[in-house]
Structure 1
């Protein structure tokens, strides 16, 4: 009976601690190869473990058929899909559309059954030929920008027929079904006229919100590219990321299918008067081109953080919008840094239990570690924050301290004791490890020889668990965190009978306001699951 009771308790624990498996969707752009110097970006620069879904942007729609856009796309397809040999869990998709493609070609294709069928057949053939795992529809936008009013219904019809064809092809080929996703505009006017949200949601595996480009150099006052909340000068609560998420949820998108778009670039302005420099300041146009991307009014993150470490300009933060901006003379740029990205991920993706986060785009992140935060500082922060949430723990916000321009990057690293006492057994597999949790209450305990691990006691059973990559265990706050926030010392060990652990009462986690995921440690908070598991696995538990 004891083992039956433990089975019930542990299965209840597992059922209650299972969190969402968040998607990390990253876009690779096929025109970044034409940039010069350190801004040049090719498939070899992609970290294959940074994302769960890697989207190749863009293919081309030509005469209602899918084809390549760049002259060397077919070579690049192979290089991108070869990354799946390194990370076998990686999924790749081909994106069709984008801003420059416009709407009319897609509107024409979706207008009739015959043209839709022709497109669907050509797309399946193209995706299978080049080993993609799915299609990402980036039609910008149905019923807008040259499209027809009927697109509002034709687009979900196209998606339904695509899904049906993907399912049939999978049955016949005995292969995994091709994925079907979409990237969508978030402005209220576009959302209302372009997208039949409840109908679309039936057929899509996930929907990526393009929650950026909300303000830019085309306007007459400075504003943020992607503020989390409305800024200190906004009179309407609409042009911000939180509004877009809520609006799409209210329109009928299942939360688990909604993926939050995050930008690795900023939008810049030229101030009319350099002495008037706040949010909402008068602007005469877009900011000047940066050092790496030849587009006025646009700066990749690595260009912005390079200015910061070289002390070019002053960085401010709008506390209402939770978003920074940098001012250098008459130059003004609003952008996302690691702290603002972290806040979006925790406040929206994790707390609202969305499907994940999307990164536009890989080539704008600091992939070469120009700024000293490590390669892909934005992408890796997203990855680590979501990985921690999946494990039911949280991480504290990253610091806003700017690295010194003259110093090489420094990364914290904790090394386990290379010569642990062979007579100790702190993590199970022997008498001390087997009895530790029988002598301590349920909770999380610091690992005695490895700061990146921790011990979890459940029902007198011990489970050794790893923190997500780049994180270490914080025994004070009972969570995995960035190494620079944690004072972790390899614990001194004596004899087999006095292995030292640092203990944390797990009940304190329930009162934490830092992450709602932490309540998942409490078996008692889910009695219904306890009853269900007990009924399934034993008739004797109740």
Structure 2
């Protein structure tokens, strides 16, 4: 508790005296454009957000498994319906806005070739030229300002539920690792990735384009990123500092998915928080001015059982995996912020805390729940509310160069609950402005 209060006091003192320009990198998942009904993020609605963003990252394009060429994942929308061109045309109205095209993310799913991103690294420089040249052409032909690499590396394995002895042992394991080694050739892949980024930036920067890197959630930074060398190759890095715990990865334990600080009051891993991940990159020599802290606009939702208890206080054990998919996100166990607002009208969700508990929870996240009753299975949702987003923004003003919002389509872009559009994005912008003046 004292550590949290001290940090927030220092943050207020620091940011009140700085005029540094902090980035707000807004991720736009083009799949939001294709949703039918109220969940569709139209270009007109997207434009409302652009006044708050320094960068817009258009996701996603993918790579072909047979020849490694970069390509649209939805040519009907991106090319035939001119979405690429319509999005980059916003630069005429917002000349300070930089728009990048992102490769990979969690959208380029190829069940027949699940390792194609690793295979690209192993393919050698001659075959990598196909990727570099086609990615360069997509950026150039459609008016983007650069490329973002949201590279699909193997993810950390989710931790297993541990007893007391197991929990103590876990504290001595190497940071960032899961329960198993997922890539025995990680050191080789780190060297290959650095070389690929080097070659890519040579091509892009010859035309003045930007190159950024997005570290996806649960990708091991110690394994895959030669951080001192990447400093010279990329313009900035977006850290996916969320989804440390999800219903898919941790079906029996409902917990905060994106805490700012480590909370040792429960059986948690010390590296699964924003502070640790951000400081790791800084300690490896990467300039904090080029680091962006990831903010999720979605929440993770578990089903509860009769054995889950009725307090809702995390960690909630005996959960039963992800809640059913919604009509908007179409992904089990995941809801956007407007959907969470509707869910929290369920009985039993009113979480009352004293002032000290509120301060602690604002740095860990927020939660709502409906206990299991009768035939109702009950639900538990963990998410970042406005207080949590504000604390993370204050942290980024001291420890990073900006924020990266994942993503605009899951913010309440219609103002259904907050009565203002994009409440999460607005709160980030407002917090920065308050401390810069």
TM-score of the pair, normalised by structure 1: 0.63
From 101, 107, 123, the counterpart of 2:108: 101
Change in 2 beyond 3 A, CA 1:281/1:17 = closer
1:361 corresponds to 2:407:
yes
- Which residue is 2:54 aligned to? 52
1:277-292 alignment runs, 5 A limit: 277-282=312-317, 283-290=319-326, 292=328
Change in 2 beyond 3 A, CA 1:310/1:82 = farther
From 380, 386, 389, the counterpart of 1:332: 380
The structure having more radius of gyration, on CA atoms, is 1
- Which residue is 1:4 aligned to? none
CA distance in 2, matches of 1:27, 1:267: 19
CA distance in 2, matches of 1:235, 1:184: 22
1:216 corresponds to 2:246:
yes
- Which residue is 1:183 aligned to? 214
CA distance in 2, matches of 1:158, 1:246: 25
Partners of 1:55 and 1:136 within 8 A in 2? yes
Partners of 1:288 and 1:331 within 8 A in 2? no
Gapped regions of structure 2 (runs ≥ 5): 1-15, 157-181, 372-377
- Please state whether the residue corresponding to 1:37 is helix, strand or coil: coil
1:67 corresponds to 2:41:
no
Count of residues in Structure 1 that have an aligned counterpart in Structure 2: 366
Partners of 2:347 and 2:370 within 8 A in 1? no
* 1:196-244 deviation digits (Å, cap 9, x = unpaired): 2222222110000001111111311111121112344244322211221
Partners of 2:405 and 2:425 within 8 A in 1? yes
Partners of 2:346 and 2:370 within 8 A in 1? no
CA distance in 2, matches of 1:266, 1:379: 15
Change in 2 beyond 3 A, CA 1:224/1:121 = same
Q: Which moved more, 1:204-213 or 1:235-244?
A: 235-244
CA distance in 1, matches of 2:183, 2:58: 25
CA distance in 1, matches of 2:155, 2:225: 9
Following superposition, the deviation at residue 308 of structure 1 comes to 3.8
1:350 corresponds to 2:385:
no
* 1:350-399 deviation digits (Å, cap 9, x = unpaired): 122x110000000000000001340000001111222333xx33xxxxxx
CA distance in 2, matches of 1:83, 1:360: 20
From 295, 304, 322, the counterpart of 1:262: 295
- Which residue is 1:428 aligned to? none
Following superposition, the deviation at residue 167 of structure 1 comes to 2.7
Q: Which moved more, 1:314-323 or 1:125-134?
A: 314-323
CA distance in 2, matches of 1:83, 1:251: 37
- Which residue is 1:141 aligned to? 153
Change in 2 beyond 3 A, CA 1:316/1:351 = farther
Following superposition, the deviation at residue 45 of structure 1 comes to 1.7
The CA RMSD measured in Å over matched residues stands at: 2.4
Change in 2 beyond 3 A, CA 1:18/1:146 = closer
Partners of 1:143 and 1:193 within 8 A in 2? no
CA distance in 1, matches of 2:205, 2:330: 43
Change in 2 beyond 3 A, CA 1:90/1:312 = farther
Change in 2 beyond 3 A, CA 1:127/1:147 = farther
Q: Which has the higher contact order (CA 8 A, sep 6+)?
A: 2
- Which residue is 2:191 aligned to? 153
- Which residue is 1:379 aligned to? 425
Following superposition, the deviation at residue 88 of structure 1 comes to 1.2
CA distance in 1, matches of 2:42, 2:303: 32
Partners of 1:308 and 1:315 within 8 A in 2? no
CA distance in 2, matches of 1:260, 1:58: 20
Change in 2 beyond 3 A, CA 1:37/1:100 = closer
CA distance in 2, matches of 1:314, 1:208: 34
